[in-house]
Chain A
Amino acid sequence: NAGVTQTPKFQVLKTGQSMTLQCAQDMNHNSMYWYRQDPGMGLRLIYYSASEGTTDKGEVPNGYNVSRLNKREFSLRLESAAPSQTSVYFCASSEARTSGKLTNEQFFGPGTRLTVL
Protein backbone atom coordinates (compact mmCIF):
# COMPACT_ATOMS: atom_id res chain seq x y z
CA ASN A 1 0.00 0.00 0.00
CA ALA A 2 1.22 3.50 -0.87
CA GLY A 3 -0.75 5.08 2.01
CA VAL A 4 -1.34 8.78 1.33
CA THR A 5 0.21 10.27 -1.80
CA GLN A 6 0.44 13.93 -2.78
CA THR A 7 1.34 15.68 -6.02
CA PRO A 8 3.27 17.74 -6.78
CA LYS A 9 6.14 17.62 -4.27
CA PHE A 10 7.29 21.15 -5.06
CA GLN A 11 5.65 24.10 -6.80
CA VAL A 12 6.53 27.73 -7.42
CA LEU A 13 3.74 30.12 -8.39
CA LYS A 14 3.49 33.80 -9.14
CA THR A 15 0.99 35.93 -7.24
CA GLY A 16 -2.46 35.55 -8.78
CA GLN A 17 -1.85 32.17 -10.40
CA SER A 18 -4.05 29.21 -9.58
CA MET A 19 -3.24 25.59 -8.92
CA THR A 20 -4.65 22.37 -7.50
CA LEU A 21 -2.88 20.11 -5.03
CA GLN A 22 -3.82 16.48 -5.39
CA CYS A 23 -4.14 13.88 -2.64
CA ALA A 24 -5.10 10.22 -2.77
CA GLN A 25 -5.26 7.45 -0.18
CA ASP A 26 -5.53 3.70 -0.67
CA MET A 27 -6.49 2.73 2.91
CA ASN A 28 -10.26 2.98 2.31
CA HIS A 29 -10.49 5.73 4.92
CA ASN A 30 -13.66 7.78 5.21
CA SER A 31 -12.11 11.06 6.38
CA MET A 32 -9.52 13.28 4.71
CA TYR A 33 -7.84 16.54 5.69
CA TRP A 34 -5.71 19.37 4.35
CA TYR A 35 -3.24 21.13 6.65
CA ARG A 36 -0.66 23.81 6.20
CA GLN A 37 2.54 23.92 8.22
CA ASP A 38 4.38 27.15 8.91
CA PRO A 39 7.44 27.61 11.15
CA GLY A 40 6.52 27.89 14.83
CA MET A 41 2.80 27.42 14.18
CA GLY A 42 2.47 23.67 14.02
CA LEU A 43 -0.20 22.27 11.73
CA ARG A 44 -3.31 24.26 10.97
CA LEU A 45 -6.37 22.65 9.46
CA ILE A 46 -7.55 24.23 6.22
CA TYR A 47 -10.46 21.97 5.21
CA TYR A 48 -11.60 18.48 5.98
CA SER A 49 -13.99 15.91 4.63
CA ALA A 50 -15.54 13.68 7.28
CA SER A 51 -16.95 11.36 4.64
CA GLU A 52 -17.37 11.14 0.90
CA GLY A 53 -19.70 13.89 -0.28
CA THR A 54 -19.07 16.29 2.63
CA THR A 55 -16.52 19.03 3.18
CA ASP A 56 -16.13 21.55 6.01
CA LYS A 57 -13.93 24.50 6.86
CA GLY A 58 -11.10 24.22 9.34
CA GLU A 59 -9.17 26.97 11.08
CA VAL A 60 -7.73 28.74 8.03
CA PRO A 61 -9.97 28.20 4.97
CA ASN A 62 -9.73 31.66 3.38
CA GLY A 63 -8.21 31.58 -0.11
CA TYR A 64 -8.74 27.84 -0.58
CA ASN A 65 -11.37 25.49 -1.96
CA VAL A 66 -11.58 21.71 -1.81
CA SER A 67 -13.20 18.88 -3.69
CA ARG A 68 -13.79 15.37 -2.41
CA LEU A 69 -13.75 13.73 -5.80
CA ASN A 70 -14.49 10.21 -4.50
CA LYS A 71 -13.61 8.20 -1.42
CA ARG A 72 -9.91 8.06 -2.41
CA GLU A 73 -9.20 11.60 -3.57
CA PHE A 74 -9.34 15.02 -1.94
CA SER A 75 -7.95 18.04 -3.79
CA LEU A 76 -7.07 21.54 -2.58
CA ARG A 77 -7.33 24.51 -4.92
CA LEU A 78 -5.78 27.93 -4.69
CA GLU A 79 -7.76 30.19 -7.02
CA SER A 80 -5.51 33.26 -6.80
CA ALA A 81 -2.27 32.52 -4.97
CA ALA A 82 -0.81 35.05 -2.54
CA PRO A 83 2.65 35.16 -0.90
CA SER A 84 0.94 34.45 2.46
CA GLN A 85 0.08 31.01 1.09
CA THR A 86 3.74 30.05 0.87
CA SER A 87 3.83 26.97 3.09
CA VAL A 88 4.14 23.22 3.24
CA TYR A 89 0.82 21.50 2.65
CA PHE A 90 -0.04 18.10 4.08
CA CYS A 91 -2.91 15.83 3.27
CA ALA A 92 -4.03 13.22 5.81
CA SER A 93 -6.65 10.54 6.07
CA SER A 94 -8.24 8.66 8.93
CA GLU A 95 -10.65 5.94 9.79
CA ALA A 96 -12.59 7.29 12.72
CA ARG A 97 -12.42 4.06 14.68
CA THR A 98 -9.29 2.15 15.74
CA SER A 99 -9.82 -1.09 17.70
CA GLY A 100 -13.46 -0.11 18.07
CA LYS A 101 -12.60 3.26 19.59
CA LEU A 102 -13.45 6.59 18.04
CA THR A 103 -9.85 7.79 17.75
CA ASN A 104 -9.51 9.72 14.52
CA GLU A 105 -5.90 8.51 14.17
CA GLN A 106 -4.54 10.26 11.10
CA PHE A 107 -2.06 9.13 8.43
CA PHE A 108 -0.10 11.77 6.56
CA GLY A 109 1.24 12.24 3.06
CA PRO A 110 4.79 13.47 2.33
CA GLY A 111 3.76 17.08 1.74
CA THR A 112 3.84 19.70 -1.03
CA ARG A 113 6.24 22.61 -0.63
CA LEU A 114 4.62 25.67 -2.25
CA THR A 115 6.31 29.01 -2.82
CA VAL A 116 4.33 32.01 -4.04
CA LEU A 117 6.43 34.87 -5.40
Chain B
Amino acid sequence: AQSVTQLDSQVPVFEEAPVELRCNYSSSVSVYLFWYVQYPNQGLQLLLKYLSGSTLVKGINGFEAEFNKSQTSFHLRKPSVHISDTAEYFCAVTLTDSWGKLQFGAGTQVVVTP
Protein backbone atom coordinates (compact mmCIF):
# COMPACT_ATOMS: atom_id res chain seq x y z
CA ALA B 1 0.00 0.00 0.00
CA GLN B 2 1.12 3.55 -0.67
CA SER B 3 1.35 6.40 1.86
CA VAL B 4 2.02 10.12 1.73
CA THR B 5 3.80 12.40 4.20
CA GLN B 6 3.59 16.15 4.07
CA LEU B 7 6.42 17.33 6.23
CA ASP B 8 5.05 20.74 7.21
CA SER B 9 1.61 21.29 8.69
CA GLN B 10 1.83 25.06 8.33
CA VAL B 11 4.05 27.35 6.26
CA PRO B 12 3.96 31.11 6.86
CA VAL B 13 5.35 33.17 4.00
CA PHE B 14 5.53 36.83 3.04
CA GLU B 15 3.91 38.10 -0.12
CA GLU B 16 6.23 37.91 -3.18
CA ALA B 17 8.56 35.45 -1.41
CA PRO B 18 9.10 31.91 -2.73
CA VAL B 19 7.48 28.89 -1.11
CA GLU B 20 8.19 25.16 -1.15
CA LEU B 21 5.84 22.53 0.20
CA ARG B 22 7.36 19.14 0.81
CA CYS B 23 5.74 15.81 -0.01
CA ASN B 24 7.25 12.35 0.32
CA TYR B 25 5.58 9.10 -0.56
CA SER B 26 6.25 5.44 0.00
CA SER B 27 5.30 2.76 -2.48
CA SER B 28 6.86 -0.44 -3.74
CA VAL B 29 5.45 0.14 -7.24
CA SER B 30 5.11 3.08 -9.63
CA VAL B 31 2.74 5.87 -8.72
CA TYR B 32 0.92 8.86 -10.11
CA LEU B 33 1.17 12.03 -8.02
CA PHE B 34 -1.12 14.99 -7.53
CA TRP B 35 -1.24 18.31 -5.73
CA TYR B 36 -4.63 19.74 -4.80
CA VAL B 37 -5.44 23.17 -3.34
CA GLN B 38 -8.32 24.00 -1.02
CA TYR B 39 -9.23 27.66 -0.63
CA PRO B 40 -11.13 28.65 2.54
CA ASN B 41 -14.61 27.13 2.68
CA GLN B 42 -14.27 25.48 -0.72
CA GLY B 43 -13.71 22.01 -2.16
CA LEU B 44 -10.41 20.74 -3.53
CA GLN B 45 -9.11 21.78 -6.95
CA LEU B 46 -6.36 20.04 -8.90
CA LEU B 47 -3.18 22.16 -9.12
CA LEU B 48 -1.04 19.74 -11.11
CA LYS B 49 -0.29 16.08 -11.65
CA TYR B 50 2.62 13.85 -12.59
CA LEU B 51 1.72 10.90 -14.80
CA SER B 52 4.91 10.29 -16.80
CA GLY B 53 7.54 12.09 -18.88
CA SER B 54 9.30 15.25 -17.69
CA THR B 55 9.85 15.22 -13.96
CA LEU B 56 9.16 18.96 -13.75
CA VAL B 57 5.43 19.55 -13.89
CA LYS B 58 3.80 22.94 -14.29
CA GLY B 59 0.34 23.64 -12.94
CA ILE B 60 -2.13 26.44 -12.57
CA ASN B 61 -1.48 29.77 -10.83
CA GLY B 62 2.31 29.61 -11.35
CA PHE B 63 2.91 26.46 -9.29
CA GLU B 64 5.28 23.70 -10.32
CA ALA B 65 6.43 20.43 -8.78
CA GLU B 66 9.36 18.11 -9.33
CA PHE B 67 9.08 14.35 -9.19
CA ASN B 68 12.21 12.73 -7.73
CA LYS B 69 11.95 8.98 -7.94
CA SER B 70 15.18 8.23 -6.05
CA GLN B 71 14.07 10.39 -3.11
CA THR B 72 10.40 9.45 -3.48
CA SER B 73 9.45 13.10 -3.32
CA PHE B 74 7.09 15.46 -5.15
CA HIS B 75 7.74 18.92 -3.73
CA LEU B 76 5.58 21.87 -4.77
CA ARG B 77 7.09 25.32 -5.44
CA LYS B 78 6.09 28.81 -6.40
CA PRO B 79 8.72 31.52 -6.95
CA SER B 80 6.59 34.44 -5.77
CA VAL B 81 3.37 34.02 -3.78
CA HIS B 82 0.33 36.29 -3.60
CA ILE B 83 -2.10 36.87 -0.75
CA SER B 84 -4.60 34.84 -2.79
CA ASP B 85 -2.37 31.73 -2.45
CA THR B 86 -3.41 31.44 1.19
CA ALA B 87 -4.96 27.98 1.24
CA GLU B 88 -4.44 24.39 2.27
CA TYR B 89 -2.45 22.18 -0.08
CA PHE B 90 -2.75 18.40 -0.30
CA CYS B 91 -0.39 15.93 -1.91
CA ALA B 92 -1.95 12.67 -3.14
CA VAL B 93 -0.73 9.42 -4.71
CA THR B 94 -2.25 6.47 -6.52
CA LEU B 95 -0.75 3.32 -8.02
CA THR B 96 -0.16 3.15 -11.78
CA ASP B 97 -0.74 -0.53 -12.38
CA SER B 98 -4.27 -0.90 -11.09
CA TRP B 99 -7.35 1.12 -10.27
CA GLY B 100 -6.98 2.32 -6.77
CA LYS B 101 -7.98 4.92 -4.29
CA LEU B 102 -6.14 8.21 -3.90
CA GLN B 103 -4.08 8.38 -0.72
CA PHE B 104 -3.93 11.95 0.62
CA GLY B 105 -1.38 13.60 2.86
CA ALA B 106 -2.52 15.48 5.97
CA GLY B 107 -2.21 18.84 4.21
CA THR B 108 -0.05 21.96 4.52
CA GLN B 109 -1.64 25.27 5.44
CA VAL B 110 0.02 28.18 3.64
CA VAL B 111 -0.55 31.62 5.13
CA VAL B 112 0.64 34.56 3.04
CA THR B 113 1.05 37.90 4.78
CA PRO B 114 1.87 41.32 3.34
Contact = CB atoms under 8 A, between A and B. Distances in A.
B32 A101 contact: yes
Q: How large is the interface on B (under 10, 10 to 19, 20 to 34, 35 or more residues)?
A: 20 to 34
Given A42-B90, A99-B51, A101-B32, A111 B101 contact: no
A106 interface: yes
Contacts of A33: 101
Interface residues of A, number: 26
19 contacts: A33-B101, A41-B106, A42-B105, A42-B106, A42-B107, A43-B90, A90-B43, A92-B44, A101-B51, A101-B52, A101-B96, A102-B96, A103-B49, A104-B94, A104-B99, A104-B100, A108-B44, A110-B42, A111-B41
Interface in B70-114: 90, 94, 96-102, 104-107
B45 interface: yes
Contacts of B34: 105
Interface centre among A50, A103, A110, A111 (most CB of B within 10 A): A103
A109 interface: yes
B43 A111 contact: yes
Contacts of A106: 44, 102
A101 B33 CA distance: 13
A108 B51 contact: no
Contacts of A42: 90, 104-107
A1 interface: no
Contacts of A114: none
A58 interface: yes
Interface of B: 9, 32, 34, 36, 41-46, 49, 51-52, 90, 94, 96-102, 104-107
A106 B99 CA distance: 13
Interface centre among A4, A96, A104 (most CB of B within 10 A): A104
B44 A104 contact: no
Nearest to B9: A40
Given A42-B107, A104-B101, A108-B36, 10 more contacts: A33-B101, A40-B106, A42-B104, A90-B43, A99-B51, A101-B96, A103-B51, A105-B46, A106-B44, A108-B43
